Structure 1
Amino acid sequence: MSSYIKKIHSDYLNISTSQMIEVDRLMIEEYHIELIQMMENAGRCLAILAKERFFNGDVEGKNIVVLAGTGGNGGGALVAARRLHNWGANVKVLVTAEEEKFTPIPFHQYKILKRMGVSIQLADKIKTIDTPDVVLDGIIGYSLKGNPRGLAAEMIHWANTQKVPIVALDTPTGLDLTSGTRYDTIIKANATLTLAMPKKGLFVEDFKTIVGELYVGDISVPNELYREKSLGLIPDNMFRYSDIIRLY
């Protein structure tokens, strides 16, 4: 296994999405670790996972399609797109909405890619895209509310028909970890990189065929934060050997 990716037992402490929302709040409001920093770490881990797991450490000349929504999940995927482009991949980004619909920090990532000349298109062009070597799913994360529709649904249907590996960021789009709902329109991932700590819903047996291989990536949450009373967790330095670890 790559030196970037280690494996630990999958019975490691996991958290609910409500606890993860509290982690995000504490990161920003109490520890002053900004969303843009967390997003950068998430995207870096996603890019490394795709490179190491599916391309044996070298993406030079590989065709990678990045599917991005307008929120935080999409922003992490846009960071991964930048990294993969820098490493020599042919990256195409497809987005669910025009740039004015992006929230501010993901839009910051969007503007960087645009300045770099990376291909960014609205997802209504998705049927014109040639078959890639891998697809990254950054459409909707744990903010999912209901069955994906519109361009998000088109992206999901397209990705699932490509017969290439799909790597999902945080959770496959269409899997609602808050309610435990698996929607009809859902990404069928080969690998999922969840962030900071594994979410309880990802260990539900019926969901494992959707999640694929489960990894967790370090977004630099301090162990001291996990000791906050509002979380009720017992921290463990699980990233001491690697920024990315495999859970199953």
Structure 2
Amino acid sequence: MRRVSRQEMVQIDRRVIEEYGIPSSILMENAGRSAAELTLKMLKGKIKKISLFSGKGNNGGDGMVAARHLLNKGCRVTCYLLGKKKQITSEEVKTNLEILTRMKTVIREIPNLNYLMKFKKKIKESALFLDAIFGIGLKGEVKSPYREIIQFLNSFKKPVLSLDIPSGLDADTGLVLGSAIVARRTITFALPKKGLFLNDGPKHSGKITVAEISIPKELLKRTKKI
């Protein structure tokens, strides 16, 4: 299967919106729903506690959509937002966070590792972690507090489903950018990213699933030579 770079995927996303009029909210919805479906398969259909670790960008928005679908299936989901709600700039992410709020989801704003550690017992009770901290846009070393938070999450050795790419992994090179999530499975959207298969990629990505998110096949064919 074709493997794409960060820039190729960014261009494909842009053209989906500009040429086909498919809004990013639909892509986010499809990505999150696919992640929720795979989560349920990993849990073998059992209703369990799940911890979502969400960034403030679109990858976090994908995770919030997944959380909504899992809540509707009866799962108990806690959202740990790494940052503050007021720092979110994406309208799609704001919308999905507001939906979770109205569904009375437990949402905790996490400014640093020390604050997250207050919930260590609750986190340990989770059957599975959803990793939606960083997506393919990450460039450069993961800085504090994210670096320490990722190391803290890895220490639990829980089953992790990473959305699109394990947080902290370079989407092009597969190198760990200081600290990266070790996932049991990764659900990557539309097309697999090159970094999943290079260098540190395989040992951090686990089993890879490619989810179709309604990007027209015609566009994928036309963009093979981007």
Length-normalised TM-score, structure 1: 0.83
Deviation sequence 1:84-113 (CA, Å, 0-9, x none): 111111110001221111122111100000
> Which ranges in structure 2 are unaligned for 5 or more consecutive residues?
none
More helix by share: 2
Which of residues 8, 22, 29 is equivalent to 1:33? 22
Task: Give the Cα separation in 1 of the matches to 2:2 and 2:15.
Answer: 19
1:90 aligns with 2:76: yes
SS at match of 1:176: coil
C-alpha displacement at 1:181, in angstroms? 2.8
List aligned pairs for 1:86-165, cutoff 5 A.
86-102=72-88, 103-123=90-110, 124=112, 125-129=115-119, 130=122, 131=124, 132-165=126-159
1:14 aligns with 2:3: yes
List aligned pairs for 1:75-86, cutoff 5 A.
75-86=61-72
C-alpha displacement at 1:202, in angstroms? 1.2
Cα RMSD after superposing both structures: 1.6
The residue number in structure 2 matching 1:203 is 197
CA contact (8 A) 2:136 2:170 kept: yes
Quick one: which amino acid aligns to residue 127 of structure 1?
M
CA contact (8 A) 1:177 1:199 kept: yes
Quick one: which amino acid aligns to residue 191 of structure 2?
M
Task: Give the Cα separation in 2 of the matches to 1:46 and 1:149.
Answer: 26
CA contact (8 A) 1:153 1:185 kept: yes
Deviation sequence 1:64-92 (CA, Å, 0-9, x none): 00011111100000001111111111110
* Percent of matched pairs sharing the same residue: 35
The residue number in structure 1 matching 2:207 is 213
> Which ranges in structure 1 are unaligned for 5 or more consecutive residues?
1-11, 234-248
SS at match of 2:108: strand
Report how many residues are paired: 218
- Of 42-51 and 118-127, deviating more is 118-127
SS at match of 1:182: coil
Quick one: which amino acid aligns to residue 16 of structure 2?
M
Quick one: which amino acid aligns to residue 45 of structure 1?
S
- Of 38-47 and 13-22, deviating more is 13-22
Task: Give the Cα separation in 2 of the matches to 1:13 and 1:143.
Answer: 19
The residue number in structure 2 matching 1:57 is 45
SS at match of 1:171: coil
Identify if the C-alpha distance between structure 1 residues 178 and 206 changes in structure 2 by more than 3 Å, giving closer, same or farther.
closer
SS at match of 1:136: strand
C-alpha displacement at 1:150, in angstroms? 3.0
1:170 aligns with 2:177: no
- Of 205-214 and 185-194, deviating more is 205-214
Quick one: which amino acid aligns to residue 98 of structure 1?
K
The residue number in structure 2 matching 1:71 is 57
- Of 205-214 and 34-43, deviating more is 205-214
C-alpha displacement at 1:180, in angstroms? 4.1
Task: Give the Cα separation in 2 of the matches to 1:32 and 1:49.
Answer: 28
Task: Give the Cα separation in 2 of the matches to 1:94 and 1:45.
Answer: 20
Task: Give the Cα separation in 1 of the matches to 2:199 and 2:217.
Answer: 29
The residue number in structure 1 matching 2:184 is 190
CA contact (8 A) 1:46 1:193 kept: yes
